[in-house]
A and B are shown apart, each in its own frame.
Chain A
Amino acid sequence: MTAVTTDTAGDTRRAGRYVYLASVTLLCAWVLVPLYFLLINTLSSPEAVNAFPKSFIPEFDLGSLTFFANFAGMLSALKNSILVAGVTMILSITISAPAGYALSRFDFPGKELFRLLILLTRAFPLPLLALPLAVMFIRTGLDDTVLGLALVHTTLAIPFAVLITFSLFSGIPVELEEAAWTLGCTRLTAFTKVVLPLILPGITASAIFAFVISWNEVFAAAVLTIENRTLTAFLLQNLDTSPLHLKFAGGFILVVPALIFIFAVRKYLFAMWGIANR
């Protein structure tokens, strides 16, 4: 009898492991297979892209990529995209982190209203806001600058950043800070020496969020920049009517820099999810 019981337990465990492995494989495939197809089609000739069935091995035809390499203004658009996303990231963190801290640590009149108002900035669709914004930017000289576009993207990113930092600060007991004060820290040093190291991964996560929001935004970028176009404004809105092989190559070019960035900061992201730095 005992042997049977052990066997059943072993079966269950083995079955559980299979389910676990299957889920992991499925989730990985969910992300990787589309990216792989994107890569294959980017490296294929137009004929191969339109053919069916698809080959699983790329033929390393660089025609589509060469087209984009010669496409006027690609590199400066890429540079602009990175700059705008970078400035957006810095601005939204420097604005949202103190706001999140204040919301979690202090009680002040109108706090609930303030939280609501922050969320409300996302309640208005961008095509509606773009016209008055563009008029104002043209008048103030912010038009067609990296900073101007970054300001708009910061506005889009702030609600998320504030909410993330608010919950981060709320997760750190105020007693930790109080203990630091009793041990000779000022408010500032207690923050920089105790709280900041604890929330840094979370801050990074919200910075990534800001980066991606800015990277993906098309409408404001298309309206507010002309000479200094971002990559999405430059490419994305013209891809939908382009031939299939160029769609793939263009999509690949848009995806890769964002992937590289997320890879570069992944250890902070994992740290926030409770996985140690690996």
Chain B
Amino acid sequence: MSFKIKLVGAVSALAVVASAAAVQAQVLFWSTQAKPVEEAQAMRENVLAGAGDVDYQPNDGGPWLTRLNAELQAGSGSIGVLGALHGDFSAMNPDDLVDLGGLGMSASDTFNSLAKLGTDNMQYIPWMQASYIMAANKEALQYLPDGADIDALTYDQLIEWTANVHKATGEAKFGFPAGPKGLKHRFFQGYLYPSYTDGVVRTFASDAAVTAWEKMRELWTHTNPASTNFSFMQEQLLSGDAWIVFDHTSRLAQAFNERPDDFVAFPAPAGPTGRGFMPVLAGVAIPRTAPDMDAAKALVQYMLKPETQIATLRTTNFFPVVDVDLPDDLPPAVKAAGNAVAKMSGSADANPGLLPAGLGAKGGEFSQLYTETFERIVLAGQDIRTVLDEHKPRLQAIMDESGAPCWAPDAASDGPCPVE
């Protein structure tokens, strides 16, 4: 490489440095959602096209948070609007987010109170939601226990149903995403524990938790043993290896889109302490360092418009949080999952268990602990009380090291969430 070329490079570099100083009058939308390149492109072209000059930048969690913290510490920044999950916002200091009261609200009171992050003001505005639901092959419906309503099942009825299917077909047809990439830990954290113990961390080793794991064991006897290899239940629904399954809405979408007439989606079952379910809630917020506060607030309001919400649904498969009339031409998966989620969150006994929050880098370890508990109790058949007591100090250590306070449905705590 000649020195001349180097010189040219250096000169042009300086030119770029100089031009970069020019101020851009657009709103930077700094998001952890809609990250896949196709979704990001659709966000820019379809969702944000009518929002004026918006620069939509999706990021991994790490750079997202680091950049935000840097701007907050420096006291000035370029991020206008933040888009992230509830857990990301709850890990932040509420003072760093602008009070968004009066800009709009979601239709769900649960979401609105979550968005206050323990303060009196709206710290973020709910933006879109997803969840984990159940789905079944229509052939399984004939084996539903007598008197059972598929939209209001209990865990006992679910077990009876899977047992009926097992007896009738000779095969265990319940499917559970217990594979390496499966989201099984979310089932324990957001469904099983809230339904039986009304908690996740505080009640980890309670007597109610022992009952919950006994039920899980019972359910497992009617579960396809190959479930330890299943990660995306849409595949097993389509192949017929499983007739009744649990998974994230987006991991069931393909089955409904390919054969919409063969499957039904329905709410998760209920236990003694309610219908535990895990809403995945994303929100939009404005950091106190936003360069153009009015433009940022206008963008937040734009995101909550019904037509924007529908465009977002088409783009990301995340559902609206405001009341909208869904058009008829939505993909089948969106319709099926949307109904199931609405019934689940609207049910009288709904008991939302939120995504773990405030764990930071310990999030993986936290979920791993629930997975290990499952493996020892259900797969290896070890004594439930022994396993829970052995894992209890490890859970406490994770909470203490991360300093994460309790999240719903656990009662709030001062300082790290205690394991009782």
Residues of A near any B CB (own CB < 8 A):
67-68, 70-72, 80, 83, 86-87, 89-90, 127, 130-131, 133-135, 137-139, 141, 144-147, 150, 204, 207, 218-219, 222-223, 226-229, 233, 235, 237-239, 241-243, 246, 250, 264-265, 268
Contact = CB atoms under 8 A, between A and B. Distances in A.
Most buried by B among A71, A207, A227: A227
Contacts of A265: 1
A237 to B, nearest CB: 5
B13 A146 contact: yes
Interface in B1-28: 1, 6, 9-10, 12-14, 16-17, 20-21, 24, 28
Contacts of B41: 67, 70-72
A222 B60 contact: yes
Contact of B74 (A138, A219, A223, A246): A138
Contact of A222 (B59, B69, B73): B59
B13 A241 contact: no
A242 B36 contact: yes
Contact of B63 (A83, A222, A246): A222
Contact of A87 (B10, B60, B62): B10
B44 interface: yes
B179 to A, nearest CB: 18
B17 A147 contact: yes
A226 B28 contact: yes
Given A223-B70, A239-B37, 17 more contacts: A83-B12, A89-B6, A90-B6, A138-B74, A218-B63, A222-B67, A223-B66, A223-B67, A227-B55, A227-B78, A228-B20, A233-B63, A237-B59, A237-B60, A241-B36, A242-B36, A243-B38
A107 B14 CA distance: 37
A130 B73 CA distance: 13
A246 B1 contact: no
A146 B24 CA distance: 16
Contacts of A139: 74
Contacts of A67: 37-38, 41
The 8 closest A-B pairs by CB, nearest first: A134-B70, A222-B63, A138-B74, A86-B9, A242-B36, A135-B73, A241-B36, A237-B60
20 contacts: A67-B38, A71-B41, A72-B41, A83-B9, A87-B9, A130-B63, A134-B67, A141-B21, A144-B20, A145-B16, A145-B17, A145-B20, A145-B21, A146-B20, A150-B13, A219-B62, A226-B78, A237-B59, A242-B36, A246-B37
A134 B28 CA distance: 17
A72 B48 CA distance: 13
B71 interface: yes
A81 B48 CA distance: 27
A127 B20 CA distance: 25
Interface of B: 1, 6, 9-10, 12-14, 16-17, 20-21, 24, 28, 35-38, 40-41, 44, 55, 57-60, 62-63, 66-67, 69-71, 73-74, 76-78
Most buried by B among A137, A139, A238, A242: A238
Contacts of A237: 35, 59-60, 63
B10 A90 contact: yes
Contact of A228 (B12, B16, B44): B16
Nearest to B58: A238
B143 to A, nearest CB: 34
A229 to B, nearest CB: 8
Contacts of A227: 20, 24, 55, 78
Nearest to B9: A86
Most buried by A among B1, B12, B17: B1
Contacts of B71: 134, 138
B1 A207 contact: yes
Nearest to A141: B21
Contacts of B77: 138
B66 A127 contact: yes
A111 B55 CA distance: 49
B13 A131 contact: no
B38 A242 contact: yes
Nearest to B61: A237
A138 B16 contact: no
Contacts of B74: 134-135, 138-139
A223 B17 CA distance: 17
A241 B74 CA distance: 32
A109 to B, nearest CB: 34
A216 to B, nearest CB: 15
B52 to A, nearest CB: 15
Contacts of A229: 57
Contact of B36 (A145, A226, A238): A238
